[in-house]
A and B are shown apart, each in its own frame.
Chain A
Amino acid sequence: MQEILFYIFSALTLLCGLLVVFNPFSRNPVTSAMFLVLTIISMSGLFVLLKAFFLAAVQILVYAGAVIVLFLFVIMLLDVKEEERRRYQKFGTFLGFAAVTGLAMLIINTIKQSGVSQALTGDGVAETKPLGKLLFTDYLLPFEIVSILLLVAMVGCILLSKREETAEAEAE
């Protein structure tokens, strides 16, 4: 049962991920964003299968909930007509596919050779309580650094998006 679910979720993740960047039917960025939501939801399904319930919940809450909603806001506020008119470059698309497929094949092949065939089951670390404990003991320093990182990101966003004091953007 688990195995079947795994394959379903994986296939969904891959397919939706592909449709985010390459959708032959629609070039509308909103569609892409929606597919991104699907990708993330199916990925959280994979986390559930690994018994990482906390991660799965965070994945849906933060990414599918907050981040993507923000994405959609931005996309709708911007003018997206331009993007819709652009066509795919055939050669570029092909090369991109080839490169990504090559990389994927390589990694799959390596993992296969390394003999990790049976599904690994979680040892319980990924559950909420031990995870929290670890974060605030062993990994306290990285955790705090991330808070500075968030500060930087926040200040940076405000800085880059607020109206210029002196003049509007000028073309070079």
Chain B
Amino acid sequence: MSKEQIIRFLPTIVLLLPLISAALILLFTQRYRKLSAGLSTGAVAIGLGISIFLFASQGTDNSEAGSDPKFTWLSIGLAQNDSPLPTASGQENFALDIQSLNDPLSRLMLLIVTFIGTLVHVFSLVYMRKDKGFSRYFGALSFFVFSMLGIVLSSNLVMMFIFWELVGVSSYLLISHWFEKPAAADAGKKAFVTNRIGDVGFLLGIILIWQQTSSVNIAYINSVEISTLAGLLIFCGAIGKSAQFPLHVWLPDAMEGPTPVSALIHAATMVAAGVYMLCRVFPIFTDVALVTIAWIGAITALLAALMAIQQNDIKRILAYSTLSQLGYMVMAVGCGGAEAAMFHLTTHAAFKALLFLGAGAVIYACHHEQDIWNMGGLRHNLSRTSITFIIGALALAGFPLLSGFFSKDAILMQAHLSQKPLFIIGVIVAGLTAFYMMRCVLVAFFGKARTDQAKEAHEVPGEMLLPLIILALFSVFLGAPQIGLADFLNLKEVKASHHAAMIWGTVAAAVGLIGGYMIYRNADKDPLPAKLGAVSRWMRDRFYFDELYAFLNHWTQEKLSFASDWFDRWIIAGLGVKGTSGAVDVTGCLIRLFQSGNLQTYALLTVIGLLGILAWILF
């Protein structure tokens, strides 16, 4: 086998390694904690090695988008069809090729996922050390990495959808890892159910596309025209997975999971899957669809940034910030800048994973204290952790020459090119981002320690620190033009817009940072509620979206139950049935009466049945 042939198998190997590790852990090694952790970490680390090799050796080479092995799934009763694209009468030739995709976009995502995955695994080795579900945790982690890589490598929408669902399942397992905690179990359920709503749209979109083009092959559908409706339905999937308005409510609650999980799932990978998917099928969106996408993204970015300002839980701040940044990326896609979105996705993965892991380290050091107002002064005890955290915060705030600065710049430029209102929102969000990150850093790391936990915090062990330092380096340098990420993504630059974006972005970041510094310098409690009054309460309570949904849910349920009660009482009360399931149940009970166990009855019923058939046919 020549070298080229081996390379063609590599993406699939990366995909399968975590699956094997998950299966081994689940089936055999659950009792041996170290072995399980080693298997899981090893699998993703080898994956990282292969990804780096692929990335380095093939780079932007787009000529060979396929890989081996390729096999055809679901082509019932048909002659094998060798042509890669289905013919016009696709119904006849429905063949689904399962094949890993190997193009620049997927290679980049492969690198991100395995890179962050490896660091999170290493970090978890210490963070989860005392957990009794240690092996289960690593098994689920491996399974998650497998599903995520599946999305990245999918060459058709059906395959992507299957992995999409698997990601939902595995994130459910991870979020509710501490299932004995009701909040965690509920959060897992909420994430799963909310995601399902988006997934239904996604599935409908896939079916619609299949019906319109007779194909689900991504490369093919990108080359033909697709209706706006189908595009929007596909976008629904991204709304769910990337937690866009109005399905954003699950992400903050998902912070109930272990913090490394938040870093992996809710910063770098799973939530980015929506954006990745949008970029992957970008050409299918019509103008109308793009405008909708852009505005949904912008609204999410703005709302989430406002909410983040009044959160006190360090992980929740980061969660809302993630929401806001995802909104940013989606907005970029909507403005026609899929490359800019991918650029920001990459840098964001680095610094947001850094922030989450940093928050994890802080929480670990403070004995699971998460309220920033109960911290303070941590820079003295946790000097190295705090430096990395501050770097991450600055990168997120768009501090000049850090990675976030360049990627944010690219998005603002796209917005400037597209619609001015979007650009204004983008700038405002940039300012707000700088403001709440300043608040978070000042309150948690500066000033004086406000509680005993904060006073007695110790620096975290080296295994936790190492990922932080690596990520900090990436957060600083990843965006720099010399690294060439922008070139790799083929980012276009328009001079005038570029300047406007750079100037306004920097001004916004500066205003935010300075404003935050002025307000929170030496603050012992949040001064904002007093100044803003009701508005701050709104922000803290997340604009009452959860309450609104709870109310809507409640209300519809109330009305529905009233209606069904009425239905029950007047329509099927005579039968003593409650609702459809009850009807099915009772039917089951009724026909089970045949199964009396009495032999003569059976014989009689059989003969009567035969009689019925014969009489029906012969007369």
Give yes or no for direct A-B contact (beta carbon below 8 Å): yes
Set A92, A103, A106: member contacting B600, Cβ < 8 A: A92
Set A96, A102, A106: member contacting B618, Cβ < 8 A: A106
Q: Could you give, for residues 594-619 of chain B, a 1 whenever the CB lies within 8 Å of some chain A CB and a 0 otherwise?
A: 00000010001001101100110010
Q: Does A110 sit within 8 A of B, measured CB to CB?
A: yes
Nearest CB on B from A30, distance (A) = 22
Which residues of the other chain, A, contact B618 by a CB distance below 8 angstroms?
A: 106, 110
Which residues of the other chain, B, contact A99 by a CB distance below 8 angstroms?
A: 604, 607-608, 611
B614 and A106 within 8 A (CB):
yes
Which residues of the other chain, B, contact A96 by a CB distance below 8 angstroms?
A: 600, 604
Q: Could you give, for residues 370-381 of chain B, a 1 whenever the CB lies within 8 Å of some chain A CB and a 0 otherwise?
A: 000000000000
Which residues of the other chain, A, contact B614 by a CB distance below 8 angstroms?
A: 103, 106
A39 to B614, CA, bound (A): 27
Q: How many residues of B contact A (CB 8 A)?
A: 9
Which residues of the other chain, A, contact B608 by a CB distance below 8 angstroms?
A: 99
Nearest CB on B from A135, distance (A) = 31
A99 to B600, CA, bound (A): 12
Nearest CB on A from B368, distance (A) = 54
A103 to B604, CA, bound (A): 12
- Chain A, residue nearest B605 (CB): A99
Which residues of the other chain, A, contact B600 by a CB distance below 8 angstroms?
A: 92, 96
Q: Does A171 sit within 8 A of B, measured CB to CB?
A: no
A100 to B610, CA, bound (A): 11
Q: Does A95 sit within 8 A of B, measured CB to CB?
A: yes
Set A92, A106, A110: member contacting B604, Cβ < 8 A: A92
- Chain B, residue nearest A106 (CB): B614
B604 and A102 within 8 A (CB):
no
B607 and A106 within 8 A (CB):
no
Which residues of the other chain, A, contact B607 by a CB distance below 8 angstroms?
A: 99-100, 103
Which residues of the other chain, A, contact B611 by a CB distance below 8 angstroms?
A: 99, 102-103, 106
Which residues of the other chain, B, contact A106 by a CB distance below 8 angstroms?
A: 611, 614-615, 618
Which residues of the other chain, B, contact A92 by a CB distance below 8 angstroms?
A: 600, 604
- Chain A, residue nearest B598 (CB): A92
Q: Could you give, for residues 177-192 of chain B, a 1 whenever the CB lies within 8 Å of some chain A CB and a 0 otherwise?
A: 0000000000000000
A100 to B607, CA, bound (A): 8
Q: Which of B565-619 contact A (CB under 8 A)?
A: 600, 604, 607-608, 610-611, 614-615, 618
Q: Which of B252-309 contact A (CB under 8 A)?
A: none
A95 to B243, CA, bound (A): 65
Nearest CB on B from A110, distance (A) = 6
A103 to B611, CA, bound (A): 6
Nearest CB on B from A37, distance (A) = 24
A103 to B610, CA, bound (A): 8
A96 to B604, CA, bound (A): 6
- Chain B, residue nearest A100 (CB): B607
Nearest CB on A from B243, distance (A) = 57
Nearest CB on A from B520, distance (A) = 75
Q: Which of A84-126 contact B (CB under 8 A)?
A: 92, 95-96, 99-100, 102-103, 106, 110
Which residues of the other chain, A, contact B615 by a CB distance below 8 angstroms?
A: 102, 106
Residues of B within 8 A of A (CB): 600, 604, 607-608, 610-611, 614-615, 618
A and B contact pairs by CB, cutoff 8 A, 14 listed: A92-B600, A92-B604, A96-B600, A96-B604, A99-B604, A99-B607, A99-B608, A99-B611, A100-B607, A102-B611, A103-B610, A103-B611, A103-B614, A106-B611
Q: 17 extra interchain contacts, Cβ-Cβ under 8 A, other than A99-B604, A102-B611?
A: A92-B600, A92-B604, A95-B604, A96-B600, A96-B604, A99-B608, A99-B611, A100-B607, A102-B615, A103-B607, A103-B610, A103-B611, A103-B614, A106-B611, A106-B615, A106-B618, A110-B618
4 closest residue pairs by CB, A with B: A99-B607, A102-B611, A99-B608, A103-B611
